[in-house]
Amino acid sequence: MKFSARKSYVFFPDVNGNLDLPEADRLSVEIIRPTAEDCGSISYVEVSNVKDAGSYRYKFDAKNILNRCIGEIKNLEVEDAEQPEKTRLIKSGKELAKESFYGMTSLVDVICTEVCRDIMTDAQKKIS
């Protein structure tokens, strides 16, 4: 059996109208594929029993994912709400892991989902 291998690729998160922007202005995130060893530590299923009805939630270790599976980030700027003239450019997963801003949870969820989904899109197949 033959598998495709690609160590990293660029991902454009579908948040806050990002995909409607010209490609040069879009927020882009370099996804570094997790190793087989990393897969067990970046996500897990939480199972709970509530009155004989089992439920589960898929959870991510966002800190681990952002620090180990995210490389370069482009076009992500955070404006200080109290001092709008002050902005910060976030350029890496390590920097994003230490940030706090409105909309961050949605962005991090989309990034973590992409890292853990383990599917190669047709667009990615054409690039490789």
Closest CA to 80 of 94, 63, 101: 101
H helical segments located in 1-128: 36-42, 62-68, 93-97, 104-117, 122-127
- State how far the Cα of 116 lies from the Cα of 44, in Å rounded to an integer: 10
Tell me the whole-structure pTM to 2 decimals: 0.80
Number of H helices, E strands in the chain: 5, 7
- State how far the Cα of 94 lies from the Cα of 71, in Å rounded to an integer: 8
Q: How much is the pLDDT for 114?
A: 92
Phi first, then psi: give them for residue 50, nearest 5 degrees: -120, 105
In terms of pLDDT, which residue wins out, 56 or 110?
Answer: 110
Residue 127: band (very low, low, confident or very high) from pLDDT cuts 50, 70, 90:
very low
The two three-digit tokens of residue 63, written as one number: 């800190």
Summarize pLDDT for 1-51 with one digit per residue, the tens: 887 778 899 999 999 999 999 999 999 999 998 887 777 777 666 666 666
Is pLDDT above 50 for 126?
A: no
Summarize pLDDT for 64-119 with one digit per residue, the tens: 999 999 999 999 999 988 888 889 999 999 999 999 999 999 999 999 999 988 76
The two three-digit tokens of residue 84, written as one number: 């709008």
Question: Looking up tokens 């667009």, which residue turns up?
Answer: 123
Q: What is the mean pLDDT of residues 53-74?
A: 85
